[in-house]
Amino acid sequence: MDCIRFLEGIGDKTVDLAVVDPPYNLKVDKWDTFESQEDFLKFTFAWMDCLVPKLKETAGLYVFNTPFNSAYMLQHLVEQGLMFQNWITWDKRDGMSYTKKRYANGQETILFFTKSGKYTFNHDDIRVPYESVQRIEHAKTRGILKNGKRWYPNSRGRMCGEIWHMSSERHKVKVNGKVQRLPHKTVKPLDMIKRIITASSNEGDLVIDCFAGSGTTALACKQLNRNFIGCDSNEQYVLSARRRIRTGVIHI
């Protein structure tokens, strides 16, 4: 169903985490095509205004988009009283567009907001490997002197930063080295969505995705023991998402 009708059916202050990957107005498909940028922003602000009251006071909200659109979205969410936490840059590695007139696009933005200053953030569960392996190996036994104190590396790695280098799902699912056409054009990497859910929710929490697409958020929730509700306006996507949730794999 349509996201607005779906959101209207949800109780206020019931959602622990919203992971929202909406249209970008890049015309990658019919559902991503708007008459004008004004129309696109009108649509975007409408779903945002419906979603915000559904979030608990302790909730988090992640919104995907282009850096350009994210600037408008950030301003609107601040005006709705949400607290800005991070502007995450997803370096898509293989997502370059081949223009010769400006720098090649290779990133998407993920805005991270919270409803208030009191929210879940499981920083230890999303640590990433240290980059300077040799130095860290040395520091494990002797530590590193920092401001007069000895610092020892965390066995789970360093804190996760705001720049995420992750290959897009299309490039991960290869058959005989060939990139496959997936049933959905904009499938988000499962490991990226799992990072978001691990950081910003706990087992048993309620996660919402009102643009579910191929069901990436739903599958991540199942694997991480979170509850999930979501919708998509395209029935075929909902059917293939259900199959993906059931089987754990995306059917090409």
Give the interface with ligand SAM as residue ranges (CB under 6 A).
2-3, 21-23, 31, 184, 186-188, 211, 213-214, 216, 231-234, 237
Shortest Cβ contact with ligand SAM: which residue? 213
For the CB of residue 159, give the shortest distance to ligand SAM in the complex, in Å.
Answer: 26
Q: How far apart are CA 81 and CA 108, in angstroms?
A: 24
Q: How far apart are CA 162 and CA 126, in angstroms?
A: 12
Q: Which of residues 156 and 251 has its CB atom nearest to ligand SAM in the complex?
A: 251
**Angle, in degrees to the nearest 10, between helices 37-51 and 67-79:** 40
For the CB of residue 233, give the shortest distance to ligand SAM in the complex, in Å.
Answer: 4
For the CB of residue 19, give the shortest distance to ligand SAM in the complex, in Å.
Answer: 8
For 100, residues 6+ apart whose C-beta sits below 8 A from its C-beta are none
Q: Which of residues 180 and 233 has its CB atom nearest to ligand SAM in the complex?
A: 233
Q: Which of residues 26 and 139 has its CB atom nearest to ligand SAM in the complex?
A: 26
Q: Which of residues 23 and 60 has its CB atom nearest to ligand SAM in the complex?
A: 23
For the CB of residue 119, give the shortest distance to ligand SAM in the complex, in Å.
Answer: 22
For the CB of residue 188, give the shortest distance to ligand SAM in the complex, in Å.
Answer: 4
Would you list the DSSP string of 91-123?
E-SS-----SSSPPP-EEEEEEEESSS-----G
Q: Which of residues 105 and 234 has its CB atom nearest to ligand SAM in the complex?
A: 234
Give alpha helix (H) positions in 103-247.
133-142, 169-172, 190-200, 216-223, 235-247
